[in-house]
Amino acid sequence: MEGVGLHSGGLITLTVRPSREGIVFVRDGERIPASPENVVDTRLNTAIGRGGVTISTVEHLMSALYGLGITDCEVEVSGAEIPAMDGSALPFYKMLLQAGPQDVPGEAPEICIDRTVAVEDGASWIKACPGPFSITYEIDFSARAVGRQQYCYDGTDYGGRIAPARTFGMLKDVEMMHAAGLARGGSLQNAVVVDDERVLNPEGLRFPDEFIRHKVLDLLGDLWLIGAPPVGAIRAYRASHRLHVALAHELISLYRPRDRRPLR
């Protein structure tokens, strides 16, 4: 695929290839395994890096990989970020589905949550508890177009319910970022932009609760850095990429020795 990078504004080529070594990102010859340990930045996006090479905004592609249960592939990019496409996971999901994921021998790993694991940051928190898989996410924004929204995802119909939900930003933040030379590729083509009670995109929203669905999309993508789906009841309140990745760290440190089977 080819698309514009949100931060640089330049055209970036993304190539996904079969692999048997987990999910590995490749840029300029540097191989960066998808893992919470390789996360180098969680401000506004999730960036991974190694040996001085970074790749930003991996979360929407990672979420699409989660949605298709893809545990192994090589992702090569020609630039410093994953192309933004339409701001959702749907273009990635469709591309991967069309390519035809294949089953490989062996059992897919999973993490079975057997105790309460919590991370928090001020008023924001995420808790993972024993139980069947579910994600219940709640946000509360002062912008009236977003406001207070809650969504419960039970793991079904990722392609229909979660993948199409686009990222969003507040107009005042977008203006500030543009003034600072950031988010140069950001536009109404790859994000929902909100000005208090107004949605600026002429096409409107894809779901009345598109914002909270996108937060679920982000959390699934960040947790997929573990390489194994966490089975448990996960509740998130006003969380961020930083907290998503903090939970991924907690889970991998708790479960790697006992429950995480090697990928191959």
Q: How far apart are CA 77 and CA 80, in angstroms?
A: 7
Whole-angstrom Cα distance, residue 223 to residue 64? 12
Which residue shows structure tokens 């990019």?
A: 77
* Chain-centroid distance, C-alpha 44: 11
Q: Is 169 helix (H, G, I), strand (E, B) or coil?
A: strand
**Cα 262-263-264 angle, rounded to 5 deg:** 95
Q: How many helices (H) and strands (E) does the chain have?
A: 6, 18
Sign of the Cα torsion 164, 216, 193, 41 reads: negative
Footprint of Zn ion (CB under 5 A): 167, 218
249 is catalytic: no
- Least separation in angstroms between CB 77 and Zn ion: 17
With respect to Zn ion, which residue has the nearer C-beta, 19 or 149?
149
- Catalytic residue (one of 7, 60, 241, 244): 241
CA distance 128 to 35: 19
In the bound complex, what is the minimum distance in angstroms from residue 257's beta carbon to Zn ion? 31
> What minimum distance in Å lies between the beta carbon of 60 and Zn ion?
6
Q: Which is nearer to Zn ion, 45 or 109 (CB)?
A: 45
Query: Nearest approach, Cβ of 258 to Zn ion (angstroms)?
Result: 31
Looking at beta carbons only, is 242 or 260 nearer to Zn ion? 242
Which residues are annotated as catalytic? 241
